[in-house]
Chains A and B, each alone.
Chain A
């Protein structure tokens, strides 16, 4: 029986608008943080627009708002058509759309306020984490509902990627969000130190895998054949691509923690699987590029295909570089430098950005029943965008390599050639300037696209409900011709498929994490490591609020070049009370793991007030608000209680005397400052942050 039904194009259109709007916002914030890296005054003197707080806003906006909405746009368009069914529920679609936008708006509000968990790419605090979970479930129900009421018996490989995305992101988000709330917008992670770092980077790496990669591969497998009007080069390869990619990706997280205090077997495991990852990644890229075999003449004419080709090439470059960066020798130079920033942006600007633009150019005219307003402008966007990527990536590679080598350079006498960290920063500032020029070009391209698409929309009319018809799916399975039961059970049974994907991705995570969590010898305890004092704990939370971790690592790797510069290398046992860990992933400024007792209190005060007076040429912004703002001590008791329930051995009843203890330590610091001609009241925030900085790494520091 032939059934008539309608595809929901309105929800696709809504997600498309959200993609463009958040894309512009996210990239503009990106430009703002890029400018601050050579002109700190671009923070406009406000704590709410200072690098540490808005760098997470940039990453969250481009990942979850720009790319997130683009995923939903692509999924809602392709899923309906591949399954020959309207989305399961219009109401769920609407809840999904508005829920997701509300989450993004809450991020835009909370992150500049300094409400952050400090886990990279998961900075949003616990109430928003719960909202994300709920909305993600809404998306899942809507997707599986559509799969169940489909009119096409078989699930095309794109849908496999969507299912894997849904399942894995759910697992990642939940495991990485185990937090103990302290107040409405403050929580501590259940995990501490090494375990927390492992969870964070298992999440972080797989957010790249299952948010920035698998859904886009699914979209590639649908939209590229549509654009080129020919089937994918090898469907068999796409199946192999799918299973090996989702299996291997989940193991690779520890490559973000090479040479850290993570047990070495976990590091080796991460390296081995990272190197293997190149095979499925390139399998996917080659499958995409070869889909265009015999259609290369079209690439010259069609801007959407141009975007696809460069996007796929960028994917190939990023996935070649990933395994390479996972090799310990290369990682030793690249880690903590701008090399990683370049690597990420080749993926984000090239792969995610260009695929999104291609799909927008292809899809908007179709649902508006018209032609693209200007192919020429789209062509211009393509070239300015490509130039933008080059101007962004090349200076960053240069900066990363230069700085990585400078950090490791010794004189013939065996002394560090650049003992002053600042020298290595000043060296690469011209690269930071060039990089923001690249960002301007890329953003200009997006604005041109927006204009082009608005003009296109004005020319046509949205076909909100697109009519279609298909045969109803017979209930029960009937094998036809050479149809064999075993072979295609999976693609006909979405839930078995989902469970199998879940099992596949859980294996890697469990092998990696279980031993670190359960085997004592993996994190040797150190008896001299003691919990933070009340004042230091409050100071640590200010350090988290200001996002210091975005520029300063707290992890001295066991290299001579690092122990010479910073001091004793970091041990796993030093971090057992760190909820969350603050190891960081980038050294725009020096490592702070051994910062304690290195400088006087007065030095820190003056440095935070105006970094340039203490370190001429520094690109650190001033933190004068720490001097004027009073430390909130009403939270001390609840923080101590929370920490105790997480296993930090504060004595029973300490929470009652914690504030008295805090004030005592604060007065000592204030008195010391006064003795050095710095007048500041002991109840100010700066006292707490100085206390924390002076504590860093001192537990096992040789006196």
Chain B
């Protein structure tokens, strides 16, 4: 029932390396964005559970 339109995989390592590369790119982006965050913002966010009564 699934169309089988390709006939072979040219080397499995392509899959591995591409997958790891996708993750690395993703991870670097997240890390860069993280370091760009401001300290007061981080503080505000981390205190959210403790400041339920804050108006």
Judge whether A521 and B8 touch: CB under 8 Å.
yes
Distance in angstroms from A197 CB to nearest chain B CB is: 15
Partner of B7 from the list A190, A236, A520 (CB cut-off 8 Å) is: A520
**Cβ of A58 < 8 Å from any Cβ of B?**
no
Can you list the 7 inter-chain pairs with the closest CB atoms, starting with the nearest?
A: A265-B12, A235-B46, A231-B46, A156-B48, A520-B4, A482-B38, A521-B8
Residues in chain A near residue B41, CB distance under 8 A: 482-483, 487-488
Distance in angstroms from B34 CB to nearest chain A CB is: 5
**Interface residues, chain A, with chain B CB atoms under 8 Å away:** 2, 78, 81-82, 84, 152, 154, 156-158, 190, 195, 221-222, 225-226, 229-232, 235-236, 239-240, 243-244, 247-248, 251, 263-265, 268-269, 272-273, 276, 468-471, 481-484, 487-488, 491, 504, 507-508, 511, 515, 517-522, 646-647
Partner of B19 from the list A236, A251, A491 (CB cut-off 8 Å) is: A251
- Residues 4-26 of B contacting A (Cβ, < 8 Å): 4-9, 12-13, 15-16, 18-20, 22-23, 26
Judge whether B26 and A243 touch: CB under 8 Å.
yes
Known: A482-B38, A487-B37. A248 touches B4 (CB 8 A): no
Partner of A231 from the list B13, B36, B50 (CB cut-off 8 Å) is: B50
Judge whether B33 and A518 touch: CB under 8 Å.
no
Judge whether A269 and B6 touch: CB under 8 Å.
no
Dominant SS among interface residues on chain A: helix
CB-defined A-B contacts under 8 Å, sample of 5: A154-B44, A235-B42, A244-B30, A517-B2, A521-B9
Partner of B50 from the list A229, A244, A520 (CB cut-off 8 Å) is: A229
Judge whether A487 and B30 touch: CB under 8 Å.
no
Find the B residue at minimum CB distance from A223.
B49
Distance in angstroms from B44 CB to nearest chain A CB is: 7
Judge whether A264 and B12 touch: CB under 8 Å.
yes
Partner of A518 from the list B3, B43, B52, B53 (CB cut-off 8 Å) is: B3
Find the A residue at minimum CB distance from B1.
A647
Partner of A511 from the list B19, B26, B44, B50 (CB cut-off 8 Å) is: B19
Name 12 extra pairs, CB < 8 A, besides A239-B34, A265-B13, A519-B8. Answer: A156-B49, A231-B43, A247-B27, A248-B23, A265-B16, A269-B16, A482-B40, A484-B36, A484-B38, A487-B41, A488-B41, A511-B18
Distance in angstroms from A129 CB to nearest chain B CB is: 19
Interface size class of B (residues with CB under 8 A): 35 or more
Judge whether B48 and A152 touch: CB under 8 Å.
yes
Known: A264-B12, A504-B26. A226 touches B49 (CB 8 A): yes
How many interface contacts (CB-CB < 8 Å) are there between A and B?
A: 125
Judge whether B42 and A236 touch: CB under 8 Å.
yes
Known: A244-B27, A272-B16, A518-B4. A469 touches B48 (CB 8 A): no
Judge whether A265 and B15 touch: CB under 8 Å.
yes
Residues in chain B near residue A482, CB distance under 8 A: 38, 40-41
**Interface residues, chain B, with chain A CB atoms under 8 Å away:** 1-9, 12-13, 15-16, 18-20, 22-23, 26-27, 30-31, 33-34, 36-38, 40-50, 52-53, 55
Complex Cα distance A78/B48, Å? 11
Distance in angstroms from A242 CB to nearest chain B CB is: 9
Residues in chain A near residue B20, CB distance under 8 A: 272
Complex Cα distance A157/B50, Å? 14
Find the A residue at minimum CB distance from B36.
A487
Complex Cα distance A515/B2, Å? 11
Distance in angstroms from B4 CB to nearest chain A CB is: 4
Residues in chain B near residue A81, CB distance under 8 A: 49, 52
Judge whether A518 and B5 touch: CB under 8 Å.
yes
Residues in chain A near residue B5, CB distance under 8 A: 518
Judge whether A519 and B4 touch: CB under 8 Å.
yes
Complex Cα distance A239/B33, Å? 10
Residues in chain B near residue A647, CB distance under 8 A: 1
Distance in angstroms from A375 CB to nearest chain B CB is: 23
Distance in angstroms from B51 CB to nearest chain A CB is: 9
Residues in chain B near residue A264, CB distance under 8 A: 12
Residues in chain B near residue A276, CB distance under 8 A: 23
Distance in angstroms from A85 CB to nearest chain B CB is: 12
Complex Cα distance A391/B28, Å? 43
Residues in chain B near residue A515, CB distance under 8 A: 6, 9, 15
Residues in chain B near residue A195, CB distance under 8 A: 2
Judge whether B48 and A519 touch: CB under 8 Å.
no
Judge whether B26 and A247 touch: CB under 8 Å.
yes
Judge whether A265 and B48 touch: CB under 8 Å.
no
Residues in chain B near residue A265, CB distance under 8 A: 9, 12-13, 15-16
Partner of B31 from the list A240, A247, A268, A481 (CB cut-off 8 Å) is: A240
Distance in angstroms from B47 CB to nearest chain A CB is: 5
Complex Cα distance A222/B50, Å? 9
Distance in angstroms from A272 CB to nearest chain B CB is: 6
Judge whether B12 and A226 touch: CB under 8 Å.
no
Find the B residue at minimum CB distance from A229.
B50
Distance in angstroms from B22 CB to nearest chain A CB is: 6
Distance in angstroms from A401 CB to nearest chain B CB is: 30
Judge whether B26 and A236 touch: CB under 8 Å.
no
Residues in chain B near residue A158, CB distance under 8 A: 49
Residues in chain A near residue B38, CB distance under 8 A: 482, 484, 487
Residues in chain A near residue B4, CB distance under 8 A: 518-520
Residues in chain B near residue A154, CB distance under 8 A: 44-45, 48
Known: A156-B48, A226-B49, A248-B23. A519 touches B1 (CB 8 A): no
Judge whether B6 and A518 touch: CB under 8 Å.
yes
Distance in angstroms from B41 CB to nearest chain A CB is: 7
